[in-house]
């Protein structure tokens, strides 16, 4: 088990201490695992809101108090939702363990005044029992306490049970925190808040999918096992059995699977949607899944679904479990939609609420795609078209580029494998993608006008190559273009010589060195590229002009190969591999090997 903790038996106390040390808006209740609003006892005077003005109050305890809680391990639920506009208090049990009634009663005493208290309880046996006993105890002591049980998980129903009381409480609970919290902040009475809660509970449905297990600190090993390519539909937030296990599918299929099961339980076609990260799901995955959910709801079976708010974030987790849950809140016909939206949008200072991830969805259209039209300054590209070469030479350049692209595509796996050892493992993939883009645009490039064509080739490479490869390959061809053009402009000629070409290649190589700050010996592509170009640059005029092109390529290829091999025992000084130090020694630099492969294949043609 690898967790950033101290004592596995004391994680909840340590976590609470960290919360109150980092958030001045909350406090811990003395001698209890209870988080309360820091302003609980403050005098507040008038409560001025856009649409509602409260009577003069003495403290926050003169409003309806909202209390939730449960086992820890679901953070930010529920302590992260304590704050203005949401909960008054949260009661924290041990990891995945319901809090004891004594802590819940203490929370009720701390935040409940004459307006009463509503306990928002997830539908688990331990929570129902402990919160129920606490409510009875507090009521017997003169407090006015009500309970609402949230059971939004449809898994039990999908497993064949027709008993709604067995539905587990999961991420849909957070929507009640937000909506009811806004009502309490507006000084709504307990009866009205409770009625809203019970109505919403009938309209909320949630279904999750787990991609991995989770580890309770005190246990020290995963609670269950999923296969390498296995997922579980309907997995509970404590690892409870889901509906079924199946092979991993893509995001589009996963969204359809979940929505096809959720939609039959909805009560209208207008939704507030909540996408919840179960723990370790990345923002990238959440965004991709968001796209698939919204596209499906916009296009499903010609039905007109309306998503008036989409909320995405980490709201109710299962420790480090990888996966997501999707909640649909159907807007009831007898609730004014605008009022509900005002409650969702109502300001909150609760740290766990994803303030910047609550939005009205947009479709992918011209309204949210920014189309940047490049503005060409001057006529430099037109000037470059003035440099021309014979068609036979242009065809040779085109063939060499085609061969180079094919070489990179054929060796994509080799380069990726090398890069995975010393870099981020994407070189082969990105060079393959760029090669395909070049080939797709090759017919549009007029190599009889080489300066212009190489400038366009630079743009293609920069647009399609990621990481550092894009800028390096792009700047090489851009400088090749401008160097050749400048040389011929200064000599007032339009036909480049071999000397012009070699100088342009050297200038292109120099631009890579200047941009990246690398040099020969730093274990980069330069260790193959610089020797290759220098092997030609050092030839005298007679040798350069009289030697057949095939032999010149052989000379350059041999130099590149020697340079590439030399990187095996080098320690990288720049780039991603530099962070590995001696651990990268023994692996050929993938960038240098790519140059070696390019020239080697040109030599064999």
Q: What is the pLDDT of residues 290-312, one digit of tens each?
A: 999 999 998 765 567 999 999 99
Q: What is the pLDDT of residue 420?
A: 84
Cα 179 to its chain centre, rounded Å, is: 27
Joined together, the tokens standing for residue 200 give: 């919403």
Contacts of 36 (CB under 8 A, 6+ apart): 26, 27, 28, 29, 82, 88, 89, 107, 110, 111
pLDDT at 104 over 60: yes
Cα separation, 522 vs 526, in Å, equals: 8
Is this structure's pTM higher than 0.85? no
Strand partners, 276: 313, 325
What's the average model confidence in pLDDT over 532-554?
Answer: 89
What's the average model confidence in pLDDT over 215-226?
Answer: 92
**Residues above pLDDT 90, as percent of the chain:** 67
CA dihedral 459, 461, 466, 471 (to 10 degrees): -70
What's the average model confidence in pLDDT over 368-383?
Answer: 57
Model confidence at 57, pLDDT cuts 50, 70, 90, reads: very low
Q: What SS3 class is residue 204?
A: strand
Cα separation, 25 vs 351, in Å, equals: 9
Domains and CATH numbers, the chain: 11-359 (3.40.50.10440), 380-603 (1.25.40.340)
pLDDT digits (tens, 9 = 90+) for 427-441: 888 899 889 999 999
pLDDT at 318 over 60: yes
What's the average model confidence in pLDDT over 200-222?
Answer: 94
238 is annotated as an active-site residue: yes
Polymer length of the chain: 605
pLDDT at 46 over 70: no
Joined together, the tokens standing for residue 553 give: 């390529």
Q: What SS3 class is residue 158?
A: helix
Model confidence at 85, pLDDT cuts 50, 70, 90, reads: very high
Model confidence at 378, pLDDT cuts 50, 70, 90, reads: very low
Tell me the angle at which helices 450-464 and 391-410 cross, rounded to the nearest 10 degrees: 20
pLDDT at 53 over 50: no
Residue 349 · residue 25 · CB < 8 Å: yes
Cα separation, 78 vs 363, in Å, equals: 33
Catalytic residue of the set 103, 238, 561, 593: 238
Of 302 and 6, which is predicted with more confidence? 6
Model confidence at 241, pLDDT cuts 50, 70, 90, reads: confident
What's the average model confidence in pLDDT over 414-428?
Answer: 83
Consecutive H or E run containing 313 = strand 306-313
- The CA–CA distances, whole Å, from 10 to 214, 217, 237 equal 18, 9, 21
Joined together, the tokens standing for residue 50 give: 């856009």
Residue 103 · residue 212 · CB < 8 Å: no
Taken in order 472, 476, 482, 487, is the CA torsion positive or negative?
positive
Cα 509 to its chain centre, rounded Å, is: 36
């Amino acid at each position: 088990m690898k967790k950033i903790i101290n004592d596995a038996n004391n994680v909840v106390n340590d976590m609470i201490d960290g919360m109150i040390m980092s958030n001045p808006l909350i406090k811990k209740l003395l001698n209890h695992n209870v988080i309360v609003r820091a302003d609980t006892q403050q005098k507040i005077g008038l409560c001025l809101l856009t649409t509602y003005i409260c009577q003069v109050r003495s403290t926050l305890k003169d409003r309806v108090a909202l209390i939730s809680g449960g086992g820890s391990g679901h953070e930010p639920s529920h302590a992260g939702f304590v704050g203005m506009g949401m909960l008054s208090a949260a009661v924290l049990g041990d990891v995945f363990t319901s809090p004891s009634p004594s802590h819940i009663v203490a929370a009720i005493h701390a935040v409940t005044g004459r307006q009463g208290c509503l306990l928002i309880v997830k539908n688990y046996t331990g929570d129902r029992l402990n919160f129920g006993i606490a409510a009875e105890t507090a009521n017997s002591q003169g407090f006015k306490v009500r309970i609402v049980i949230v059971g939004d998980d449809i898994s039990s129903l999908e497993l064949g049970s027709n008993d709604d009381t067995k539905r587990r409480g999961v991420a849909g609970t957070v929507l009640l925190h937000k909506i009811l919290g806004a009502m309490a902040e507006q000084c709504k009475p307990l009866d009205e808040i409770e009625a809203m809660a019970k109505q919403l509970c009938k309209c909320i449905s949630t279904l999750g999918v787990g991609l991995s297990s989770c580890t309770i600190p005190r246990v020290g090993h995963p609670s269950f096992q999923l296969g390498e390519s296995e997922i579980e539909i309907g997995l509970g937030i404590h690892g409870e059995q889901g509906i079924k296990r199946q092979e991993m599918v893509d995001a589009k299929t996963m969204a359809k699977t979940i929505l096809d099961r959720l939609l039959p339980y909805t009560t209208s076609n207008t939704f507030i949607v909540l996408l919840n990260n179960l723990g370790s799901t990345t923002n990238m995955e959440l965004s991709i899944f968001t796209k698939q959910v919204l596209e499906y709801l916009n296009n499903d079976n010609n039905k007109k679904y309306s998503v008036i708010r989409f909320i995405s974030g980490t709201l109710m987790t299962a420790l480090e479990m990888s996966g997501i849950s999707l909640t649909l809140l159907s807007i009831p016909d007898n609730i004014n939609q605008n009022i509900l939206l005002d409650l969702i949008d109502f300001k909150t200072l609760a740290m766990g609420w994803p303030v910047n991830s609550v939005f009205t969805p947009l479709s992918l259209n011209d309204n949210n795609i920014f189309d940047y039209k490049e503005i060409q300054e001057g006529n430099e590209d037109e000037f470059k078209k003035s440099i021309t070469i014979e068609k036979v030479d242009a065809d040779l350049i085109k063939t060499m580029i085609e061969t180079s692209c094919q070489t990179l595509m054929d060796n994509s796996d080799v380069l990726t494998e090398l890069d995975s050892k010393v870099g981020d493992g994407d070189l082969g993939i990105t060079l393959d993608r760029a090669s395909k883009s070049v080939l797709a645009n090759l017919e549009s490039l007029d190599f009889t006008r080489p300066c212009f064509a190489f400038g366009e080739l630079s743009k293609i490479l920069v647009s399609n190559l990621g990481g550092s490869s894009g800028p390096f390959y792009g700047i090489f061809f851009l400088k090749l273009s401008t160097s050749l053009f400048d040389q011929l402009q200064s000599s007032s000629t339009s036909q480049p010589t071999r000397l012009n070409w070699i100088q342009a290649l050297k200038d292109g190589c120099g631009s890579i060195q200047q941009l990246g700050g690398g040099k020969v010996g730093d274990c980069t592509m330069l260790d193959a590229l610089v020797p290759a170009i220098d092997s030609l640059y050092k030839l005298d005029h007679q040798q350069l002009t009289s030697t057949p092109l095939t032999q010149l390529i052989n000379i350059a290829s041999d130099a590149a190969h020697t340079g590439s091999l030399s990187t095996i025992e080098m320690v990288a000084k720049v780039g991603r591999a530099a962070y590995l130090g001696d651990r990268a020694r023994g692996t050929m630099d993938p960038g240098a090997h790519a140059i070696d492969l390019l020239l080697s294949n040109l030599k064999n043609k």
